[in-house]
């Protein structure tokens, strides 16, 4: 992402059969991207203040997506610090609204493909241990254990 970025350490899954998902009630102008093919970026405004970013998954029409919740910063840390007005590296990207601010993601990135500049997504090298848990900040389907994170990471939005 324009020279800034990191390792994804925390995500949450959403699906059109899931009452907590934006796609649950069918397509609207806002969630349209979720109903398209996988490999695209869905950005929405959260609480009127923050941007949150999802990657559309599975097959076209399943309207499923993965919310990116936390990053371990690796590239462009000074630029991210400037955007976040922060000195603390740990809280730079430790939340969905924080990471979009640090990376400079806004609604203008909505609908972009994951392999189209300024966005690049790479496969992880090597094996990792994944922790699972219930999702954060939702009021529906709260019991589904669809939160996934890098076990023991110091850059999570919350411990598992």
Partner DNA sequence: TAGGCGATGGTCT
Partner DNA sequence: GACCATCGCCTAC
Whether 133 and 159 have beta carbons less than 8 Å apart is answered as no
Whether 9 and 70 have beta carbons less than 8 Å apart is answered as yes
6 binds DNA (CB under 7 A): no
Residue indicated by tokens 């411990």: 159
Cα separation, 118 vs 93, whole angstroms:
18
Whether 18 and 66 have beta carbons less than 8 Å apart is answered as no
Which residues in 32-71 contact DNA (CB under 7 A)?
34, 42, 44-50, 52, 54, 65, 67
Residue indicated by tokens 């923050």: 50
- Rounded least distance, CB 92 to DNA, Å: 9
Which residues in 110-129 contact DNA (CB under 7 A)?
none
87 binds DNA (CB under 7 A): no
Which residues in 132-151 contact DNA (CB under 7 A)?
135-140
Residues in contact with DNA by the rule CB under 7 A: 12, 14, 20-23, 25, 28-31, 34, 42, 44-50, 52, 54, 65, 67, 84, 91, 95-99, 135-140, 157
């Amino acid at each position: 992402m324009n020279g800034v970025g990191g390792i994804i350490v925390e995500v949450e899954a959403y699906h059109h059969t899931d009452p907590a998902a934006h796609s649950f009630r069918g397509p609207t102008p806002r969630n349209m991207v979720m109903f398209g093919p996988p490999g695209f970026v869905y950005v929405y405004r959260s609480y009127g203040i923050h941007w949150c970013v999802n990657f559309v998954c599975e097959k076209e029409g399943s309207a499923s997506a993965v919310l990116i919740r936390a990053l371990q910063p690796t590239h462009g840390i000074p630029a991210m610090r400037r955007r976040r007005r922060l000195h603390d590296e740990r809280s730079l990207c430790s939340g969905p609204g924080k990471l979009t601010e640090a990376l400079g993601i806004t609604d203008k990135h909505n609908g972009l493909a994951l392999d189209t500049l300024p966005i690049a997504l790479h496969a992880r090298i090597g094996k990792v241990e994944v922790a699972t848990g219930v999702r954060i900040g939702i009021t529906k389907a709260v019991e589904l254990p669809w939160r996934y994170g890098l076990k023991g990471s110091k850059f999570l939005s919350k411990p598992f």
